[in-house]
Amino acid sequence: MNIVVTGSSGLIGSALVKFLTSAGHEVTRLVRSKTKQLPRETLWNPAIGAIDLAGLEGMDAVVHLAGENITAGRWTKRRKAKIHDSRIQSTRLLSESLASLTQPPTVLASASAVGYYGDRGEELLDEASEVGSGFLAAICREWEEATQPAAQAGIRVVHLRFGMVLSGSKGALAKMLTTFRLGLGGRMGSGRQYVSWIALNDVVGAIHHCLTCESLHGSVNLVSPNPVTNREFTTCLAKVLKRPALIPIPTVVLRLVLGEMGNELLLASARVQPTRLLATDYEFRYPELEDALKHELGRPK
């Protein structure tokens, strides 16, 4: 297939481009500025509503992953506005542009997140569950709604609701490694909150599955079928690293240091199931947390 990818330099995007090209697909990166080193690039600038429509004509699929990093700093009003605008504006521009093409793609896979469900305790959640409350839930709802122009034009739209993506080089797991390698890690808050995680290999595999499985549309949870509590996650990580995990971070400290971001990213609980992936026979490479961590951290069985 000929596939357009936004956010191609990020954690998921860079892994996805390698995966797709190695599988024989042609990938065009939708970027804000071209580089001499990388071929097949098309320009856009969501902040001013600019996009090269000619570069999108005749493509088979689009994977939209672009968006401001939500962990780049404390959630001030300015940061929250950047997080909101980077997602909603870019998605709306892309969807409207695809809808206007003479030869639009057959499928748009657009990023979202399990933050859609909010803080739900031990409730078992799937794609049919209602939207939750909070900043991230509101962002995810608007994010998904911004794809409506593409869906109304007959493009099959898939909302990729990502859980915590496990990578030893970038993302949440990578930020935890130094502390845990020093033996200073431990549960966060009560440790009872659920973490819905997914191995990076399964992220790219599941995105490819969403592109090629014509029966999939609407929301799809990209998470392992085995969510764990924060206590279980940190205990398992310490075990894989062969270090203790005896120093918890109290709830009050997380809220004091990180504010709203700490509440929604570290203390909120989302026990999410990949119901639609399983129903369409996606086979997880790393369904168990310990195997996924060993693979990402170079500690195979």
As beta bridge partners, residue 210 has: none
Number of structural domains found in the chain: 1
- Maximal CA-CA distance, the chain: 60
Per-residue pLDDT of 203-225, as tens digits, reads 999 999 999 999 999 999 999 99
Range of the domain at 224: 2-296
pLDDT score, position 19: 96
CA–CA separation, 128 and 130 (whole Å): 7
Residue at 219 is within a domain: yes
Please give the share of the chain, as a percent, with pLDDT higher than 70: 97
Find, among 94, 210, 231, the residue nearest to 162 by Cα: 210
Per-residue pLDDT of 278-290, as tens digits, reads 999 999 999 999 9
Residue at 65 is within a domain: yes
Per-residue pLDDT of 34-63, as tens digits, reads 766 666 899 999 999 999 999 999 999 999
Residue at 17 is within a domain: yes
Residue at 301 is within a domain: no
Residue at 38 is within a domain: yes
Per-residue pLDDT of 160-172, as tens digits, reads 999 999 999 899 9
DSSP letters of 197-240?
EEEHHHHHHHHHHHHH-TT--EEEEES-S--EEHHHHHHHHHHH
C-alpha distances (whole Å) from 112 to each of 6, 66, 142, 162, 208 are 14, 10, 10, 6, 16
Give 73's pLDDT tier (boundaries 50, 70, 90): confident
Give 299's pLDDT tier (boundaries 50, 70, 90): low
Number of H helices, E strands in the chain: 11, 14
pLDDT at 301 over 80: no
pLDDT at 300 over 70: no
pLDDT score, position 239: 96
* Phi and psi angles of residue 166, each rounded to the nearest 5 degrees, phi first: -90, 120
pTM of the entire predicted model: 0.95
Judge contact between 2 and 59, C-beta under 8 A.
Answer: yes
Average pLDDT of the chain to the nearest whole number = 95
C-alpha distances (whole Å) from 175 to each of 12, 159, 180, 241, 289 are 16, 27, 10, 14, 17
- The enclosing domain of 115 has a CATH number of 3.40.50.720
